[in-house]
Structure 1
Amino acid sequence: MTPEAPELLFHGNEKAFLTWWFAKMAANPKAFPPEEVDTIATSLRGRDALRGGFEHYRTLLQDGRDNRAWGEAGGVLTMPALAVGGEYSVGSYLAQTLRPVVPDVEEAVIAGSGHYIPDELPEDLLAVLTPFLA
């Protein structure tokens, strides 16, 4: 979350970082074959690309504060929502945290998946997305 520091550390080491990161976050190590890691690493090569990738993480604390304040002020989402979590990642935690502000939240935990559900178990994800979106 620190500005500029991650870019300095990861610049030139994008592939090594991603290889390590995917191994830590994915329950299925085969979800990210070397050629896919190479493609993703190429897209993140250079400090500007890395900065763009890290900006999401730099906003997380403020996003959390903003969302909490919105909920405490009575904010509610009235549309149906689907909270999908990997068994070895967030699991049902996402749905639990949404329930106070999303009364119509449906929960789906993808068994055997880590953080990267679309990459690890795409068919299982489609099996829950398709009926929800229908």
Structure 2
Amino acid sequence: MSIALRHSDVAVGEYSLHVVEAGDPRGRPYLFLHGWPQSWRAWKAVMAVAAPHARALAVDLPGVGESTGPATGGSKHRLAAIVHDLISALDLDDLTLVGHDAGGMIAYACLRRYADIARVVIMNTVIPGVAPWAEVLRNPYIWHFGLHAIPDLPETLVRDRQAEYFDYFYSALSVDPAKITPEARATYVGAYGTDSALTAGFDFYRAFAEDAQDNAASSGVPVDTPVLYLRGEGEGGDLAAYASGFRDAGVKDLTTALIPGVGHFAQEESPTAVWRLISDFSRR
């Protein structure tokens, strides 16, 4: 599906954030945050489906792709502050903030810190410090959490081998890896093509202990913002355990759903189904 995309670089404090937009500039806004090892490009197919009905925006997170600025250390609260400044700079009212993977962790930090975001969607991730976080950390199949947290080593191992390394995760975590196209894969390699971008990506993992402490500080404090939690059916994990964790942490208005026939990279594996769930949630 062809889509008219508008690219811009938005100054936010010390950062220049690369923002890609589609749809009606006067429409209801949806801001999409990517995870690792991806960039804004992960949302292109969803934006194509959304564009006739909404204002769809996606951003390269700081240090990744075409977004530049000082290193953040991967702290989700620090990244949430930058995202919130972007929301203010773009004057995004009645916003649905959507985060996948590490972007979902950032969306959760925004949920906790800023009451002016109308609704939040969190996809295919576990939140540091929020159940079932401890169970996920014990899972031997999540070995990369530990590797990526080691200073310098993953950069040394992955430098100049981004394509091969990233391809492993697309194959291991997708129901249909072919849905992550060669063009998309090449874009992601480019987005993490520099040493600083590799570090920005691995810093998402290095900050997990800090993130867990930050999230624990607000655990149990009620939050009224509506939240939709989505998980790919093929990714595994007990959806009820994630729902219980969010509710115990204080999320009062929670909706959950499994996305059928997809794995971790749901927005590329089944963009129409993902958009339908997000759109229905935002319009209820």
1:8 aligned partner: 156
Q: Which has the higher helix share?
A: 1
* C-alpha separation in 1, matches of 2:196 and 2:247: 37
**CA deviation digits over 1:30-69, x for unaligned, max 9?**
1212222112111111211100111111112221232123
Please say if 1:81 is aligned against 2:227: yes
Q: Tell me the matched-pair count.
A: 132
2:202 aligned partner: 54
Check conservation: 1:84, 1:91, Cα contact below 8 A.
no
Check conservation: 1:26, 1:115, Cα contact below 8 A.
yes
2:167 aligned partner: 19
* C-alpha separation in 2, matches of 1:52 and 1:112: 31
Check conservation: 1:7, 1:51, Cα contact below 8 A.
yes
Please say if 1:128 is aligned against 2:284: no
SS of the equivalent of 1:85 reads: strand
**CA deviation digits over 1:70-110, x for unaligned, max 9?**
21xx4121111101111122562433321211121000110
Q: 2:189 aligns with which of 41, 55, 70?
A: 41
1:112 aligned partner: 261
1:63 aligned partner: 211
Stretches (4+) displaced over 3 A: none
Check conservation: 1:91, 1:110, Cα contact below 8 A.
no
Check conservation: 1:12, 1:46, Cα contact below 8 A.
no
SS of the equivalent of 1:83 reads: strand
TM-score (norm. length: structure 1)? 0.89
* C-alpha separation in 1, matches of 2:244 and 2:233: 14
2:176 aligned partner: 28
Deviation at residue 26 of structure 1 after TM alignment:
1.3
SS of the equivalent of 1:99 reads: helix
Greater displacement, 26-35 / 86-95: 86-95
Task: State the one-letter code of the partner of 1:57.
Answer: Y
* C-alpha separation in 2, matches of 1:94 and 1:59: 21
Check conservation: 1:85, 1:91, Cα contact below 8 A.
no
RMSD of the alignment, in Å? Answer: 1.5
In structure 1, stretches of 5+ residues that fail to align are: none
In structure 2, stretches of 5+ residues that fail to align are: 1-148
SS of the equivalent of 1:88 reads: helix
> Looking at both structures, which has the greater relative contact order when contacts are Cα pairs under 8 Å and sequence separation is at least 6?
1
Q: 1:96 to 1:111 in 2, by over 3 A?
A: farther
Q: Which has the higher strand share?
A: 2
